[in-house]
Amino acid sequence: MLVRMQINDTRLCDVKLLVPKRHGDDRGWFAEVFNAEVFRKAGLPEVFAQDNQSASTRGVLRGLHYQLGQPQGKLVRVLSGHIWDVAVDLRRDSSDFGKWAGFDLRPRNSNGDLELLWIPEGFGHGFLVLSETAEVLYKTTRGYYPAGERCVRWNDPKLNIAWPLDGMTPSVSDKDAQGALFSEAELP
């Protein structure tokens, strides 16, 4: 059987790190980064509703975002630059409820492989830009639903996320800075 993609478990239940197979020669390379049949067989969504792309500068911290009513699963890929991506399990019935995991994401990892991060519905998501600039593309399982948009503060003391700030003061939007504390947040 042709191996098109490795799908690796992470320390958070249901969050996956995907490594597409790259095929290359002296002209460059090609990779299949999404295939509905491969995703279906792996128990991942095979239909996505929306693609989003962001461009940010060093120190920008986005998140921790999630949606109520019409939650979104996200397939995250870094197109350029370097980010530290965070997923927080907000599913009350999960054994990982309130736990987080961080992922060092670049266009290609230290082995030269592409990496995509699958974050299912019911998770908070955010990232910190570590390079001078970064572009991030993510597919979502549902379209944007403004009435359901929520945010938990990136620096919530209960979550105690170890952001790799290295002395940097993050640039956070006013909306994200006013996010709810985890203990008071309206959760899925």
- Which amino acid is it at 30? F
- Helix (H), strand (E) at residue 62: strand 61-67
Nearest to 6 by CA among 113, 112, 121, 125: 113
| CB of 82 closer than 8 Å to CB of 110 | no
Instruction: Give the position of tokens 């002209």.
Output: 27
| CB of 60 closer than 8 Å to CB of 130 | no
Q: How many CB atoms lie within 10 A of CB 43?
A: 9
- Residue 157 phi, psi dihedral angles, 5° rounding: -65, -30
Judged by phi (left if over 0) then psi (alpha if -120 to 50, else beta), residue 69 lies in left
Catalytic residue numbers read 65, 138
Instruction: Give the position of tokens 């379209």.
Output: 143
